[in-house]
Every structure is written in structure tokens, then in C-alpha cells.
């Protein structure tokens, strides 16, 4: 090889990041012809009216750069929705920013807040983008593990409080929670408020499953709690709400001083988000029914799936929110979670995700996660195969 043509060495900023378990399981599911209940996305279409609205916006010539923070009509619709649901008034001009999905929103919120030497409390199991974003910012993740009991997963707030130091910059929360399906209650928010009161600690509240809370329980958004809202970046996702995960559009609501810093990074991260989809979403949001009816829509699928699993040897954990169902498989196998998930995919024909994948280091609890955001026929096909266990 000619030395002048060799590629210089690059020291990775994310040396611990490799091929994710989600990629591995989806590839295995495709190879084996398995029913893929692993990755969290629907296998059904969105409302055709939403697609028509995008087409109409394109035909109207709404195809050039929108304002950096998002088109005003969409930001106004978002602010109105938050006010109607959670009784918190955000200024659409200065406190709502449209993002290229929730993952970009999370990364941008961390990058604008965290500096080298800062600590960020991460409650595990946790969505897999949190820690890489913290590491890219030069921060240090500090881990607190959720506890698992008869009522499912819960946050041990005394341990969160004990993890706070004078270097703590952020606490990251997620409700409804991926992967566990648990939801925070009013008492949880009060416990969090007590921890951060009198400090400069900020909060990132990942609420992308805000419209998927079941059994008549209300979503306790941080927006409902003025003391917490004053120090929080609240993140949501149109992809999750409207069954269009591939569109990658979300938003952040935050007080004006936090939004100003967020937008400085956002401007040079993605600059802005595609114009016709923003206008289509604004038009579609004029009818609140699609998101107000979402809990009933997904609760029916959850109940169908849980009823089918009840006759298997899986032990069902509560699924109070999201479109995920966690199960304890200790009555079936003593394999490690990743091995069990691969066996289930290859031999039974149903793909799941090991919950251990949501921890920063090996953590075995004998639990895997299924996604029930699927057509009924998909769920029935999976249940027929799981019934053989």
C-alpha cells in the first residue's frame, strides 16, 4: 500500500458504541422470517388525511427553508395543545422549537447544557441515545437503577437524591418509560421537585409516549408542575403520536432562557426541519381527536396482547404506558437475556429486545420487551407462536 494513501487514525469519541441490539435483532428476525416485535415502530399506516396534508403543502409551494425554530403555525398549535392538556402556557415564539425527531432534541438539549466535568443522572434502564449524547458533550453519566417489584418498575428517588453532587447539571427522566412501560405519578414529580429545589439542576423530560397512558391514568407531564417546568426541556414526538416514525419530527418546550441556548445548538445541528411536513402537522393538529383517542387505541392492542400471553409461561409485568410489554421469562429459561431473545427469534419465530440492552453495563433480570404497536393480525401471529412455549 502506498503510505500516502493510508487513512489517518481517528480516536473515537464513542469508543463503546457498536452495532446495537436493535439492529442485530431486526436482521435476525428478517433472516429467520420471525414476527418482529422488537423495534418500536408500527407496522400499520398513518391517517391518509395526514399524507394528503403533506402533499397539499408541497403543491402549495411550501418547499423552501422554514424559520429555524419551526413554522409559526405549528409552534402555535403545539403551545395550544400543551396549554389545553397540561394548563401550562408556553410562548410559541420563544419557548417552542420544532426538531428533527426526539433523538435530535435530546442530543441538542444535552449539548447546550452540559460541559466537561458536569454530571448527568441517568435512570436505568434507559433509552440508548442518552449516554452517547452525554459523552459527546464531555459530561459524565451517573447511573441510578430502577427497582423491580410486584407492581413493576419504579424510580428509587432516595437513590437519585443520593447521586446528586455539586457537579450535577442534569437529571434525565422518561415517562411513559421505554423500555419498562411504567409511568411517573404526581408523587414522583413531587419527589423530583424536592431533589432539585434550591439547586441549578436542569431536567430533560422525555415524554414521547405522552398520549399512550392506560386505564384512565393521566399523563403527569412535567408541564403540569410549574416548579419543574421552569427548569425543564420537555420533549415529544409526532412520529410516535401519529404513527409516522420515519418522518422524524418532534419538539421541545422550555422556558425562554433555556430555549435560546437550545436554539443556538439546534441552528448548527440541523438548522431546521422540513417545511411541508411542519405545515401538514399544524393543519392536522386542528383536530385533537387523533391524540385524545390514542390511549384507547393502544390499550385495546395492549389488552389483546396481554390476554394472549396470559396462557404462556411468561410472567407479565405491568404496562401502564408506551406500546411496550415487558415479560419475565424465568419460568421458561435461565439463558441470559440477549441469548434468550436470539433463541426466541430463531426457534420460536418472534423477535423481542432484551431489557439488559438498556443498561450501560451487563445487567441480567430475565426480562425481555415486546412491542405491541402492530396490526391485530401481526399480534395474533406472534401469539400463536408464543403459545408453543
| Mean pLDDT computed over 10-39 | 91
Whether residue 2 has pLDDT greater than 80 = no
Q: What is the pLDDT of residue 221?
A: 98
Q: What is the mean pLDDT of residues 138-161?
A: 96
344/337 Cα distance (integer angstroms): 10
The mean pLDDT of the chain is 96
* Mean of pLDDT values over 60-75: 98
| Residue 3 or 131, more confident | 131
pLDDT of residue 344: 97
Residue 217 has a pLDDT of 96
pLDDT at 27: 94
Taking the C-alpha atoms of residue 238 and residue 101, their distance in angstroms, rounded to an integer, is 8
Is 80 exceeded by the pLDDT of residue 33? Answer: yes
Compare 106 and 26 and report the one with higher pLDDT.
106
CATH number of 15-40+292-386: 3.90.1150.10
Task: Please enumerate, as own/partner, the contacts of 213-217 that have beta carbons within 8 Å and a separation of 24 or more.
Answer: 213/176, 213/183, 213/295, 213/320, 213/321, 214/295, 214/298, 214/299, 214/302, 214/319, 214/320, 214/321, 215/299, 215/320, 217/183, 217/185, 217/320, 217/321
Q: Cα 82 to the chain's mean position, in Å?
A: 18
Using CA atoms, how far apart are residues 352 and 25, in angstroms rounded to an integer?
Answer: 7
Is the predicted pLDDT of residue 235 greater than 90, yes or no?
yes
Residue 380 has pLDDT above 90, yes or no: yes
Tell me what pLDDT residue 150 has: 81
pLDDT given at position 80: 98
Looking at residue 20, its pLDDT comes to 83
Asked if the model's pLDDT at residue 222 lies above 80, the reply is: yes
Q: What's the mean pLDDT in 4-14?
A: 89
- Residue 149 banded pLDDT, cuts 50, 70, 90: confident
Could you report the per-residue pLDDT of 109-135, keeping only the tens digit for each?
A: 999 999 999 999 999 999 999 999 999
**Which is more confidently placed, 23 or 184?**
184
DSSP bridge partners of 237: 250
Would you say residue 11 has pLDDT above 80?
Answer: yes
Whether the model clears a pTM of 0.75, i.e. scores above it, the answer is yes
Farthest-apart Cα atoms in the chain, separation: 68
What percent of the chain is modeled with pLDDT above 70? Answer: 99
CATH topology of domain 48-286: 3.40.640
pLDDT at 287: 97
Residue 223 has pLDDT above 80, yes or no: yes
Cα–Cα distances in angstroms (integers) from residue 14 to residues 120, 134, 135, in the given order = 17, 10, 7
Assess whether pLDDT exceeds 70 at residue 247: yes
304-336 pLDDT tens trace: 999 999 999 999 999 999 999 999 999 999 999
- SS3 for the chain is CCHHHCCCCCCCCCCCCCCCHHHHHHHHHHHHCCEECCCCCCCCCCCHHHHHHHHHHHHCCCCCCCCCCCCHHHHHHHHHHHHHHHCCCCCHHHHEEEECHHHHHHHHHHHHHCCCCCEEEEEECCCCCHHHHHHHHCCEEEEEECEEECCEEECCHHHHHHHCCCCEEEEEEECCCCCCCCCCCHHHHHHHHHHHCCCCCEEEEECCCCCCECCCCCCCCHHHCHHHHCCEEEEEEHHHHCCCHHHCCEEEECCHHHHHHHHHHHHHHCCCCCHHHHHHHHHHCCCCHHHHCHHHHHHHHHHHHHHHHCCCCCEECCCCECCEEEEECCCCCCCCHHHHHHHHHHHHCEECEEHHHHCCCCCCCCEEEEECCCCHHHHHHHHHHHCCC
Q: For residue 246, is pLDDT > 60?
A: yes
pLDDT for residue 303 is more than 80: yes
Are the beta carbons of 351 and 35 closer than 8 angstroms? yes
CB 226 within 8 Å of CB 329: no
Q: What is the pLDDT of residue 39?
A: 85
Query: Could you tell me the residue ranges of all domains in the chain?
Result: 15-40+292-386, 48-286
pLDDT grade for 22, boundaries at 50, 70 and 90: confident
d(CA 66, CA 64): 6
361-379 pLDDT per residue, tens:
989 999 999 999 999 999 9
Cα 32 to Cα 25, 65, 96, 348, 351, distances in angstroms = 10, 43, 44, 10, 10
Amino acid at each position: 500500500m502506498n503510505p500516502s494513501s493510508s487513512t489517518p487514525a481517528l480516536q473515537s469519541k464513542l469508543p463503546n458504541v457498536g452495532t446495537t441490539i436493535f439492529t442485530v435483532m431486526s436482521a435476525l428476525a428478517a433472516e429467520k422470517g420471525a414476527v418482529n416485535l422488537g423495534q418500536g415502530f408500527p407496522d400499520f399506516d398513518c391517517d391518509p388525511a395526514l399524507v394528503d396534508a403533506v402533499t397539499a403543502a408541497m403543491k402549495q409551494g411550501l418547499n423552501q427553508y422554514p424559520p429555524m425554530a419551526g413554522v409559526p403555525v405549528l409552534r402555535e398549535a403545539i403551545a395550544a395543545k400543551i396549554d389545553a392538556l397540561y394548563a401550562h402556557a408556553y410562548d410559541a415564539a420563544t419557548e417552542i422549537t420544532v426538531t428533527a425527531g426526539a433523538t435530535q432534541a435530546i442530543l441538542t438539549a444535552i449539548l447546550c447544557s452540559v460541559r466537561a466535568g458536569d454530571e448527568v443522572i441517568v435512570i436505568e434502564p434507559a433509552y440508548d441515545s442518552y449516554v452517547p449524547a452525554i459523552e459527546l458533550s464531555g459530561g459524565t453519566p451517573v447511573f441510578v437503577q430502577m427497582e423491580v417489584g410486584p407492581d413493576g418498575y419504579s424510580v428509587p428517588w432516595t437513590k437519585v437524591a443520593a447521586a446528586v453532587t455539586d457537579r450535577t447539571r442534569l437529571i434525565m427522566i422518561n415517562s411513559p418509560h421505554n423500555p419498562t412501560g411504567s409511568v411517573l405519578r404526581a408523587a414522583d414529580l413531587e419527589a423530583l421537585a424536592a431533589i432539585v429545589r434550591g439547586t441549578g439542576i436542569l431536567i430533560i423530560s422525555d415524554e414521547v409516549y405522552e398520549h399512550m397512558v392506560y386505564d384512565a391514568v393521566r399523563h403527569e407531564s412535567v408541564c403540569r408542575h410549574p416548579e419543574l417546568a421552569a427548569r425543564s426541556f420537555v420533549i415529544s414526538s409526532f412520529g410516535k403520536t401519529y404513527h409516522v416514525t420515519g418522518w422524524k419530527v418532534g419538539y421541545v418546550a422550555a422556558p425562554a432562557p433555556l430555549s435560546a441556548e437550545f436554539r443556538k445548538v439546534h441552528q448548527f445541528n440541523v438548522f431546521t426541519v422540513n417545511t411541508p411536513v411542519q405545515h401538514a402537522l399544524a393543519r392536522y393538529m386542528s383536530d385533537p381527536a387523533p391524540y385524545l383517542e390514542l390511549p384507547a387505541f393502544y390499550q385495546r392492542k395492549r389488552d389483546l396482547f396481554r390476554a394472549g400471553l396470559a396462557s404462556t409461561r411468561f410472567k407479565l409485568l405491568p404496562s401502564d404506558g408506551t406500546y411496550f410489554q415487558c415479560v419475565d421469562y424465568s419460568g421458561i429459561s435461565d439463558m441470559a437475556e440477549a441469548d434468550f431473545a436470539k433463541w426466541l427469534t430463531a426457534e420460536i419465530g418472534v423477535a423481542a429486545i432484551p431489557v439488559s440492552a438498556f443498561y450501560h453495563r451487563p445487567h441480567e433480570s430475565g426480562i425481555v420487551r415486546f412491542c405491541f404497536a402492530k396490526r391485530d393480525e401481526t399480534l395474533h401471529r406472534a401469539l400463536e407462536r408464543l403459545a408453543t412455549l
